[in-house]
Amino acid sequence: MFEHVENYPGDPILSLMDDYQRDARSEKVNLSIGFYYDENGQVPVLTSVKHAKALVDAQPPAANLYLPMDGHPVFRTVVQSYLFGELSAADHSRISTIQSVGGSGALRVGADFLTRYYPESRVWVSDPTWDNHFAIFKGAGFEVNRYPYLDVSGKSIDFERMLAVFESLPVNSIVLLHACCHNPTGMDLSPEQWDTLYELFRKHSIIPFLDAAYLGLGDGLEEDAYSIRALAQSGITGLVSNSFSKVFSLYGERVGSLSVICESSDIAQRVAGQLKGTVRTNYSNPPRHGAELVATILSNAELASSWRAELDAMRKRMVEMRQALFDKVKTLNPDLDVNYLLEQKGMFSYTGLSAEAVDRIREKYGVYLIRSGRICIAGLNSSNLAAVAEALSNN
Ligand code: LMR
């Protein structure tokens, strides 16, 4: 019956992680998947999360019922403030927010919703982007195209070329953007560029879809949220997906959210209903525990501020690692241009290394990068810096 089922080629990021686990070398270094690792190479359990868990566990036992289709009600409210900041009550009511199964789940529910109302539209993703963006939107039935993101040197954003492509798109085209900490390049738009983009989208009736998996790990929470908050203020309709995997170190809980910014609260209510319907036909309702942890932290001023401090510490450690790797490479090979390490932001840096060079580095040094040349900065620590600097300097 299933004789004709072809092999799944695997996901480029998750398959590489499997290869890393199988590698028997003790000196191997994992700079592949976007996990935040601490100085000891461990994925941390945040102290704020431990406290939230203690509070959740101290609640009198209750029947383990389903959450509503759109998720935990307190979670949905606090997440709106986290993403959109201080909005008037009227503005909040224009935004429909649902809890999702991680950031990927938010992207998929958003894609399924869009394909129902804009089946003729095409989706545009940056070149390069996170591989799964293609698969998710294609899986929902869209044709997915790329828009240029970098100039020919691959070292900076080519904003003019991006704008020229967006200007030529048919109305109701869907443009996927990284809200901050662009994955894989670590190169983000400035606030002025976001404003210019939204103005163009308004004129050309383009639907932006912002993916925010690393909010707060670039320049800080408020700074990184500029793209999202400016979208909400711009008067255009758009979608925002976000993930709590990295910023709360809650990978396995699969907790995220999807927001749809609408023109009026009346439309937002109907959209909310359709999002619920989309959830119901996919997985019925989201899991409870991760949302309870995030809701407990974000609704408690003390816990929220201790989580913010932990988020800032993660961000600062990555900035320090960027500088330390830069310094070490420069000592080994002063002529090598590694300015990108200092210029790019967030969890990733884009080395410009070819896929062949990445393969050589993996075989020779046991240092694992994504074949696009992306390194996960959070995988660096003082014990593996020298090996990584050596691999980057002599490949
Ligand atoms: C990444 O890009 O490495 C992360 O977003 C993890 C993933 O699911 O691919």
Chain centre distance of CA 246: 8
Mean per-residue pLDDT of the chain: 96
Residue 87 has pLDDT above 90, yes or no: no
Contact 121, 204 (CB under 8 A): no
Q: Ligand 1: which residue has its CA nearest to atom 4?
A: 34
pLDDT category at 123 given cuts 50, 70, 90 is very high
Residue 234 CB–ligand 1 contact under 6 Å: no
Q: Report helix, strand or coil for 236.
A: coil
What is the structure's pLDDT at 301?
97
Residue 130 CB–ligand 1 contact under 6 Å: yes
The verdict on whether 211 is a catalytic residue reads yes
Instruction: Tell me the C-alpha distance between 292 and 49, whole Å.
Output: 10
pLDDT in tens, 21-77: 999 999 999 999 999 999 999 999 999 999 999 999 999 888 899 999 999 999 999
Residue 183 CB–ligand 1 contact under 6 Å: yes
Q: Report helix, strand or coil for 306.
A: helix
Q: Characterize the bridge pairing of strands 374-376 and 174-178.
A: unpaired
pLDDT category at 97 given cuts 50, 70, 90 is very high
| Pocket perturbation via mutation, ligand 1, pick of 33, 35, 246, 369 by most ligand atoms within 8 A of CB | 33
Instruction: Tell me the C-alpha distance between 358 and 226, whole Å.
Output: 34
What is the structure's pLDDT at 57?
93
Instruction: Tell me the C-alpha distance between 231 and 242, whole Å.
Output: 15
What is the structure's pLDDT at 62?
85
pLDDT in tens, 284-305: 999 999 999 999 999 999 999 9
Residue 389 has pLDDT above 90, yes or no: yes
Contact 29, 387 (CB under 8 A): yes
Average pLDDT of span 152-168: 96
pLDDT in tens, 237-269: 999 999 999 999 999 999 999 999 999 999 999
Active-site position among 70, 211, 328, 345: 211
Residue 170 has pLDDT above 90, yes or no: yes
For 355-393, letters b (16+ CB in 10 Å) and e give eebbeebbeebbbbbbbbbbbbbbbbbeebbebbbbbbb
In the chain, pLDDT over 70 holds for what percent of residues? 100
pLDDT category at 395 given cuts 50, 70, 90 is confident
What is the structure's pLDDT at 86?
87
Residue 33 CB–ligand 1 contact under 6 Å: yes
Residue 124 has pLDDT above 90, yes or no: yes
pTM: 0.96
pLDDT in tens, 351-388: 999 999 999 999 999 999 999 999 999 999 999 999 99
The verdict on whether 130 is a catalytic residue reads yes
Q: Is the dihedral of CA 187, 133, 31, 35 positive or negative?
A: positive
Q: Is the dihedral of CA 74, 76, 80, 83 positive or negative?
A: positive
Retrieve residue 253's tokens.
């809980």
Phi, psi (5° rounding) for residue 95?
-110, 125
Residue 346 CB–ligand 1 contact under 6 Å: no
For 259-274, letters b (16+ CB in 10 Å) and e give bbbbeebeebeebbee
